[in-house]
Structure formats: C-alpha cells, structure tokens
Amino acid sequence: NAGVTQTPKFQVLKTGQSMTLQCAQDMNHNSMYWYRQDPGMGLRLIYYSASEGTTDKGEVPNGYNVSRLNKREFSLRLESAAPSQTSVYFCAGAGGGGYEQYFGPGTRLTVT
C-alpha cells in the first residue's frame, strides 16, 4: 500500500497563477484533510472532508478551494496564488474506526 500520496513534491508559482495539489489514499479512509505548516505557526487545517461528498472549512480556508473527487482523492486548488500561501502543504487521511490521521509526504510551495 502506498498510503497517502501527494503530487507535486515541489512547486514554484508566480503571484496570480493557479494550481491544484493532488492527494490520494489507498487506506480506505473516510475522512481527508488539507493542512499547511509554517514556521512558528504549527499545522493549521485548511479544509477537510469528513466523508465522500462533503467538504468543510477549517481554520484558514481563505484563498483555497477543495474537491473530494471520490473516496480516494481530495484535491486543493489555489485560484490566484499569493506570496502568503508560500508554505508546506500536507494531506492526511483518517477513518476505519479511529481518529488517528496519516499524513502524505507534503508539497513544498513557493509563490514569488
């Protein structure tokens, strides 16, 4: 099992460009999450999907949109990137009886 996978691993964008971060899991997770991690700020929840077909805002949703394409896939879209969105983005999945979350390897995004 690959677990939770994310693409791309690295990305550089110019201000105003758009992009989609992809996340997929093969662990039969019901819930999926997108976080960003910044120095001194810890992990902050952007959006989550408690189950297939539902999505909800987390702590820092502004500037982002998400799609839960099916049970396996949960994507994060930046419509018009800003330098403040420079961060490391992690996708996570959970479910199957417990609330523990398992993280993907992350995407390091730089917006210039």
Partner 1 sequence: QKEVEQNSGPLSVPEGAIASLNCTYSDRGSQSFFWYRQYSGKSPELIMFIYSNGDKEDGRFTAQLNKASQYVSLLIRDSQPSDSATYLCAVTGSGGSNYKLTFGKGTLLTVNP
Binding site for partner 1 (CB under 8 A): 31, 33, 40-43, 45, 48, 50, 58, 90, 94, 98-106
Strand ranges inside 1-106, DSSP E: 4-7, 10-13, 19-25, 31-38, 42-49, 56-57, 64-68, 74-78, 87-94, 101-103
Closer Cβ to partner 1, 17 or 55, answer by number = 55
CB of 16 to partner 1, least distance (A): 28
Closer Cβ to partner 1, 41 or 69, answer by number = 41
Closer Cβ to partner 1, 19 or 45, answer by number = 45
The two structure tokens encoding residue 79: 């419509």
CB of 11 to partner 1, least distance (A): 16
How many Å apart are CA 37 and CA 106, to the nearest integer? 10
